[in-house]
Amino acid sequence: MVYNILIIEDDFGLAKSITNVLEKYNFRSSILDDFQDIEDRVVDTKPDLIILDINLPYYNGFYWCRKIRKITSNPIMIISSRDSNMDQIMALEYGADDYITKPFDSEILIAKINSLLRRTFGELSGTTINEQLKVGNIILDKDRQQLLAGDKQIDLSITELKILKKLIEEYPNSVSRDELFFEVWDENNFVEENTLNVNIRRIRRKIDDNQLPIGIRTIRTFGYQLVAEEDGR
């Protein structure tokens, strides 16, 4: 399969050099040249992965990341010359799946892209397991990529889905951070520690916003544990 990658970067020299790298590795790519209608372009091109710069005309990449996340669950990789932890956390909070700082090595870029695509579409996507996972009245529907509770249907990113899958499978036991990294990311060398923290925080927010009778407990210096209402969350 040839994957389609959309590059949203206003430095067209850099965008073209990324395209050249992608072509060497047999990816199909397109460069966005209109930064006012990014949502429409994403809908039209249906990219398998999006490379999104933070510093864009009109609205920044954080704004567009949040907008794009509402219309696709496919991976978003943020690229930026800003390397602060806060920017990386913000990118992940707004729905990005990964973050890479300029200037970056082309081999690291390709490794990150391959890792995201494997997690979403390949052998790590978990598409061969179709059963629903349950804790009490809460259902994790992997096919629909949703958490179901009564009449509530809560959309999840692929990363959130994989974290919850592991926590539910191991319930009521705790899961180490290393186990979660191994479950969700196949290239640990390219994953920041903040990535797991932010995704756990996003899941907790969705649980709290929807008043679900489950929670995620932090096990100090070890990892996390899924708890249900009857456990005294």
66-91 per-position pLDDT tens digit: 999 888 888 999 998 877 788 888 88
Q: What is the DSSP letter of 60?
A: -
Q: Is the pTM of this model over 0.85?
A: no
Token output for 17: 């050099």
Which tens digits make up the pLDDT trace of 6-55?
Answer: 999 999 999 999 999 999 999 999 999 888 889 988 998 899 999 999 99
Tokens at residue 18, please? 């990324």
Three-class HEC string of 126-154:
CCCCCCCEEECCEEEECCCCEEEECCEEE
The whole-angstrom separation of Cα 36 and Cα 153 is 31
Contact criterion met (CB below 8 Å) for 8 and 52: yes
Q: What is the DSSP letter of 231?
A: G
Residue type for position 32: L
> Alpha helices of the chain — where are they, by DSSP H?
12-24, 38-45, 61-69, 85-93, 106-120, 158-170, 177-184, 193-209
pLDDT at 200: 94
Nearest by Cα to 42 from 2, 8, 90, 12: 8
The string of pLDDT tens digits covering residues 154-202 is 988 888 888 999 999 999 999 999 999 888 876 555 566 778 888 999 9
* Mean pLDDT over each residue of the chain, to the nearest integer: 87
Cα–Cα distance measured from residue 181 to residue 13, given in angstroms and rounded to the nearest whole number = 35
The structural domains of the chain, with segments of one domain joined by +, span 4-120, 133-231
Domain 133-231, what architecture? Orthogonal Bundle (1.10)
Architecture of domain 4-120: 3-Layer(aba) Sandwich (3.40)
